[in-house]
Structure 1
Amino acid sequence: MSADQTTPTLDLTADVVAITAQIVDIESVSGNERALADAIEQQLRAAGHLEVIRTGDAVMARTEGGKDRRVVLAGHIDTVPVAGNLPSRIEGDRIYGCGTSDMKSGDALMLKLAATLTDSPYELTYIFYDNEEVEATKNGLGRIAREYRHWLYGDLAILLEPTNGLLEAGCQGTMRAVVTTRGTRAHSARAWLGDNAIHAAAPILQRLADYQPERVDIDGIEYREGLNAVRIEGGIAGNIIPDECTVTVNFRFAPHRSVADAEAFLQEFFTGFEVEITDSAPAAVPALSDPVLATFAGHVGGEVSAKYGWTDVSRFAAFKIPAINYGPGDPNLAHKQEESAQTDLITEGERVLRDYLTTPY
């Protein structure tokens, strides 16, 4: 931060709804999280009872009291681009603004607990990380997994992604691929001299239109897969037969598949076409049979459902750490201009987590 800038100040003595508003009002679109990371780091260091380290624009803090069990709480601090929805505002029982749901209301719970919870029977780790809303190669938790792997270790990891105050187990894997058709360029007035690559993409789109998603039951949780075209590109000029067309597809796969399995599925599905995998992240199994996770699920109560979407529980699952999604935001409002979170779920989320983290096991 330059000399003419000051770190924004957070007041963690305020209630969690007010803290949510404070961090929402510090704009932190992916790649621009520094100001918010500075503010979080400042407050965690000031708490006095935490070991704190910073890596890039990720901030990690933990207690070290020699207790037998550790719970890790994690959340990303970046948002999608602002859509005219800052600063935050409270109307009725909702707080509106970019990131309120995904996932600064969850970050607010973590901050409040980190600053005030000093009597837990658990060792506690808090991870605030950057660049979750962009490609996996930039993900701050991925960087932590590579460079500070031991900071992820615990008996349970709670990812405060938006779940409407319910429990969502595991997550779908995600894979993007580019399917390419090739032809022969020609003048459109003499089309018979060419071979139209865009026309050749018709069978790709038909296969996708005919696709029936698989439903998979794992530990009593149903996951539904999805395979969709998300971009199509082709064409050179208004009077040229195109010689190349690409269709980008996104495959959301259930936890019964590995990344290798997902790639094999796509290669078979698009047999006869050129397929390039451009991005992928593994799914995570529910892990509901783990006793520590089961105790947390029992404490929260209610039905446990599948996480539709990819979250960083996958990174914990890769290290055999039981992990689950639990946060106050509304996943159906994530990334929308009218993004908001219900204030009573933010307050209730703090109560539930504080009760769990102060109850002897």
Structure 2
Amino acid sequence: MTLVELTRDLAAIPSHEDATAAGDFLEDWLRTETDAAVTRDEAGNVIARTGTGAETLALVGHHDVVEPAASQVANPDAGAAGAGHDAGEYVVEERDGRLYGRGTADMKGALAAALLAFREADPAEELVFASFVGEEVGGVGARHAIDDGFAPDYAVVGEGSTNYSGRDVTDVAVAHKGRRGSTITARGTAAHASEADAGENAIYRATAAVDRVRDLEVPAVDVAGETLEGRLTVTEIEGGSAMNVVPARCTVTVDERTVPGERAALERVADLEGIEWTVDQDLPPMRCEDRAFADAVRAAADAAQAGEPELVTKPHATDAGWLAEAGTECVIYGPSEPGEAHTDDESVSIDVLERCRETYRRVAEQWPVE
């Protein structure tokens, strides 16, 4: 089975609501095509191990996807796209050297490349293939696996790193931002607006909290010659019950992009009267601290392509954040390009998929560096 065929088969399997069928495919393929020890945990993660040694290198991805557009789902009875597909399957089409379809870029193409590299490699140490569920909803699978003892020493995560430094170059991302989403709840006392002084206006209290958010210093760190900057953005506000009632409650949501090792002091808003601050989601950032590992992956990437890959940073949170938080040294290397994932015309370059396959194989065989 070629890389294109494997990507097509895997990407056609619906996995935005339930990733079970995609996990079944991965498990069956690994058991049929390799001699690895394959496990499937309670969350649905698929993990395979081969080789032995003091250090473990993992090729990591996820097989869940975001909801597809209607045009990305086969509906042959309606005469729509998807001839040759069963109803409900994702439509995967090849044209102009690319594969189009939901999940081709994020990230079943990278998974297919990792599967073949895992099968082909002759590792000097233990090599692991891991595909998680629930990456698109906060790293559910990765967190479950880590809690269950998944702890590779090193990991190459197949999220997108192509075209970051230059056109047609797949780089090695050594850091990325995290995301902390939180809610500021302001509480006051309701009163009739004609006697506003009899109440405490929750919206006024909320706006005071917003002013404090805007005054907070946002951290930045230097990584790989780049400045990775955090960001605080107020994204939603809701409050009040009627035009003539002093509001007793108002909520504000804050999107915070975090950087490795630093956080904005958002907890300071809770010092204000009538204000409560709660964290709703906290996806950790990532930074590779092992330069030898990063350079080894870059050397493998350099040998697999005509361009000159660089060590770069990435703005999006990935499962690499959870792994790094648990002690795994991570880099990111994958075919998806900026702005490609989650789109209605999502696609991936076939040439770059082959590049990733070769890079993964080289990393697996050449690590650890002596």
TM, length-normalised to structure 2: 0.81
* TM-fit CA distance, 1:282: 2.9
Count of aligned residue pairs for this structure pair: 334
- TM-aligned CA distance change 1:230 to 1:112, over 3 Å: farther
Distance 1:129 1:223 in 2: 27
- Take 1:348 and 1:101, find their aligned partners in 2: how far apart are those partners? 14
Match among 101, 105, 109 for residue 105 of structure 1 = 109
Say which of 161, 173, 177 aligns to 1:172.
177
Q: 1:213 to 1:358 in 2, by over 3 A?
A: same
Output one character per residue of 1:232-291: Cα deviation in whole Å (capped at 9) or x when no partner. Answer: 22233566443211111121111122xxxx3x71112664232122222332223242x2
Find the aligned partners of 2:123 and 2:212 in 1 and give their Cα distance: 54
SS in 2 for 1:133: helix
Mapping for residues 71-150 of structure 1, pairs under 5 Å: 71-84=57-70, 85-86=72-73, 87-114=91-118, 116-136=119-139, 139-147=140-148, 149=149
Which residue identity is paired with 2:22? Answer: L
TM superposition shift of 1:166: 1.6
Structure 1: which 5+ runs fail to align?
A: 1-12
TM-superposed CA distance for 1:322, in Å, is: 1.6
Structure 1 Cα separation of the partners of residues 94 and 189 of structure 2: 58
- Aligned residues with identical type, % of pairs: 28
CA distance in 1, matches of 2:230, 2:120: 40
Q: Which amino acid aligns with 2:131?
A: F
- Partners of 1:166 and 1:219 lie apart in 2 by 12
**Corresponding position: 1:245 with 2:244:** no
Which letter maps to 1:80?
V
Preserved contact between residue 60 and residue 131 of structure 2 (Cα < 8 Å): yes
- Matched with 2:157 is 159
Unaligned runs of 5+ in 2: 74-90, 163-169, 303-308
Of 164-173 and 32-41, more deviation after overlay is shown by 164-173
Match of 2:231 in 1: 226
Say whether residues 1:266 and 2:266 are aligned partners.
yes
Contact 1:167 1:324 in 2 (8 A): yes
Match of 1:6 in 2: none
Q: Are 2:202 and 1:215 equivalent residues in the alignment?
A: no
What secondary structure sits across from 1:170 in the alignment? strand
Structure 2 residue identity aligned to 1:353: Y
2:297 counterpart of 1:311: no
| Matched ranges for 1:340-355 at <5 A | 340-355=347-362
CA shift for structure 1 position 145: 0.6
Deviation at 1:196, TM superposition (A): 4.0
Name 1:57's counterpart in structure 2: 44
- 1:268-320 deviations in Å (ceiling 9; x for gaps): 2664232122222332223242x233222233242211121222222332343
Name the structure 1 match of 2:284: 282
SS at match of 1:105: helix
Pair 350,38 (structure 1): closer, same or farther in 2 beyond 3 Å: same
What secondary structure, in the 3-state scheme, does the structure 1 residue paired with 2:181 have?
strand
Residue number among 232, 241, 244 corresponding to 1:236 in the alignment: 241
Superposition deviation, residue 189 in structure 1: 7.0
Aligned alpha-carbon RMSD (Å): 2.6
One-letter code aligned to 2:312: S
Give structure 1 regions of 4+ aligned residues with deviation exceeding 6 angstroms.
none
- How far the C-alpha of 1:190 sits from its partner, in A, is 6.4
Amino acid across the alignment from 1:248: T
